Structure 1
Amino acid sequence: MGTVIEERRHLLNVAYRLLGSLAEAEDAVQETYARWYALSRRQQEAIESPGAWLTTVAGRICLDVLGSARARRERYVGAWIPEPLPDRSEWTSVRADGGEPADPADRITLDESVNMAFLVVLESMTPAERVAFVLHDVFRYPFAEVAGIVGRTPAACRQLASSGRRRIGAARTGAAPAAGRAGQDGQAGQAGQAGQAGQAGLVRDFKAAWEAKDIEALVGLLDPDATMTADGGGMVGTVLRPVVGGRSIAQYLIHIADKAPGLTLLERTVNGRPGLVAQHTGISVTVAAFEVTGGRVSAIWAVRNPEKLRAWNEHAED
């Protein structure tokens, strides 16, 4: 059974990319294992590839969750942003029994397929498109296997993945990132590292300008057509619609700084990219992911819903 348990990290990686929610991904993986252990020993032994069986079941569960999630998110207060993930190197929280870190975030591989801009585009896909695209383009599953999960023909899954790819292109996020290709292209990796360094410097300047309440400096760092989207889930106060335009965003940020004194801004890795975390009395109250285009900040996603920040506050509760 050891090999079955060892599939957990892979299943969690798949489920998070399919659902954009750490909590929902955990639930999907738990349900997958519940179904495995509900099989008799003879049924388990008859399964030629337990890993493939688990992935198929997890994929179908995620497909069902995505279908119901669309209705739930239509009733969501304000914008719905995927749940942000911390970097594993920033995790020190360990279970009392000395086991693995308490939060599953450190088991998510933070490659290009989890950056916030990419996940936001995935949200625009239909459930079937998302499953077909993620499984094939990111995890390199052949369409014959994807078909068994989505319940369509391989040809139909090829079309679904192609449609997903077009959505990525239309969102101008560059070539569709694929974990399967990442390790094969050294030049792409070096370019990504250079981009990371550039974004880190820009985010650092952004932090300094915000702390100084220097509105002109903020405007200079923001693309004139930048957008800022916030997710409070109706649980905390925030703008319900995106703030559009560099100057409007800068003015709003200065307003926030004046309205909420005592905030501490920290540079942190958010979904594999440089971002900012705002803390109040040691508690993370906002996690901001950035998209950089042409050397300026073109998009900010600010997650304030406390239910989506549990991974960032685990250590504060120990």
Structure 2
Amino acid sequence: MLDGKVVVVTGAGGGIGRDIALMAGANGARVVVNDIGAGLDGSGQDDGPAARVVAEIKAAGGEAVASLDSVADAEGAQRIVQAALDAFGRLDGIVNNAGILRDTFFHKMTEEEWDRVVKVHLYGSFHVSRAAAPVFKQQQSGSLVHMTSTSGLIGNLAQANYSAAKLGIVGLSKSIALDMQRFGVRSNCIAPFAWSRMISSIKVDSPEQEARVARLQQMTPAKIAPLAVYLLSERAASVSGQIFCVRNNEILVFSQPRPVRSVQREGGWTPEQIAEHAMPALAASFHGLDVSSDVFTWDPA
């Protein structure tokens, strides 16, 4: 499905990114495998993970090169895109998958913990997409696939930094889809459920968390790759601005925020009238303080 395409996959040294890179290569794409080889918290650097995935793609008969640049700054993102142009002469797709976790409850979260996670996830998705945008505009085609999360779409404990970044990516993706549709450029999000090195850092301190982790362990990163490869392909030419979710063998499409109920009063409102009339009338449409596991309560097939 990707014959002749050149694809960049960030954070592709392991987990979901690795499986997307491998499947893209198996479907004919020439792949830039980007990974700085850092720890879960973003520390350190090791060229091994990216090199190993490149070797796997080549061993299967594909073409790939490694990129060790960080997505967290604009210069690094530009070098990632340039690596594709230098090695293969073009660029057709980006999978913004790179990420780190620094989980902590909000009242304990430091500015550094906030900043680092937002820089890799949200800024990283912006930087790489922005570096690719002139290339896509020039050739009048291109596909961007961004990894969001139900932590942002629904909510999760001790992840204010990660949740904010992942919901921000949804807004970024929609804006790219709107701004660049006239150039034939598409942008979509995937919220993946899969057991990976990053997810393995989830704190397990209750029976409910143990049960959630046990369910996640049944969901392999390889289940995410088919949807990503499809979205990169020409078969998805009419699909843009959407939010998908993959849970094992399930593919879901998410709603996007729209008004659900309204009240009005001739002459406007006083604070007292809001308390007495507006809020009671609207309360039936309020959302509870759900976390992702409250919504996804069933075991996927």
Normalising by structure 2, report the TM-score.
Answer: 0.22
Greater helix fraction, Structure 1 or Structure 2: 1
